[in-house]
Structure 1
């Protein structure tokens, strides 16, 4: 595992079906920053799954809070970036039923917040 990979990240469907796409997609998604927190969506663990089926990509994504004022923009930017990298139509499944937790963050980042 490289230094920049999120060791807390859940396994994505493309990890096994399209492993060659994981790194370029991850790097593209790292450019999407939550402006209130100052960390990107990969560091925060907001992308919960990425699958490709029937020529379409599906991203399951959460936000740090369901009422995030930047949420709609981050979801749309995630969709656009994914389409750019994968070159296929992409849909976002916003998972309001899954609450974000600090444990979703990349290892070492939570220490900087001084919470534990």
Structure 2
């Protein structure tokens, strides 16, 4: 059985397989994931996330994909995805890797 930090690393690795269809960067590096909370002992996972804009054409697709990949992590019992637009997304939330990939640096 993994520690909470090990499980969180597995969840992040799973989330990094999800891409915004319009941007060649995964949603984690893009900065769309605000928080990942693991609730023991059953390892229920709560993901707080946003989208690049409230009118994002992938508004239903991306959260659904994230839920699916997190649910596929072996030790996860349940997943809740919470979508928020506070704080509003900005490109400052991107990782350095994402900024390099998109030519912002």
TM-score range, shorter chain: 0.7 to 0.9
Deviation at residue 50 of structure 1 after TM alignment = 0.7
Match of 1:60? 48
Match of 1:89? 78
- Over aligned residue pairs, what C-alpha RMSD do you find? 1.9
In structure 1, the gaps of 5 or more residues are: 1-16
Q: 1:84 to 1:112 in 2, by over 3 A?
A: closer
Normalised TM-score (structure 1) = 0.75
Matched, 1:37 2:26: no
Deviation at residue 24 of structure 1 after TM alignment = 1.4
Match of 1:103? 92
In structure 2, the gaps of 5 or more residues are: none
The structure carrying a bigger helix percent of its residues is 1
Deviation at residue 111 of structure 1 after TM alignment = 4.2
Match of 1:80? 68
Secondary structure of 1:71's counterpart equals coil
Deviation at residue 27 of structure 1 after TM alignment = 1.3
